[in-house]
Amino acid sequence: MQQVKIFECLENEINSLEHEINQWLRESGARIISITGNIAPQSVTSQPKARPAPSDVLLIVLYELTGSTPEGS
């Protein structure tokens, strides 16, 4: 049975997100079907020298657990 897992972070936390996803993959034994990602556009700031806030990053993983069987089987 296909399932969805959603991961999110800020763009300056990408390394932590990568670690989290890899750890989840090792622990779950999931078989990835697809990964879709999106990064939100940066917000415009009214202060000329201010750094823009980091954008949100969202990853949606479509997966199956290995060895799982459809319900009713």
| Full-model pTM | 0.76
Residue closest to 60 by CA, chosen among 4, 2, 20, 17: 4
Q: Encoding tokens for residue 13?
A: 């936390």
Structure tokens at 3: 């399932």
CA distance 70 to 18: 29
Query: Which two structure tokens, joined as six digits, stand for 22?
Result: 């890899």
The set of residues, in sequence order, having a beta carbon less than 8 Å from that of 19 and lying 6+ positions away, is none
Q: Which residue has the higher pLDDT, 70 or 33?
A: 33
Q: Give 52's pLDDT tier (boundaries 50, 70, 90).
A: confident
Average pLDDT on 43-54 reads: 75
The enclosing H or E element of 15 equals: helix 14-28
Confidence at 41, pLDDT banded by 50, 70, 90: confident
Q: Taking residues 20-40, what's their average pLDDT?
A: 96
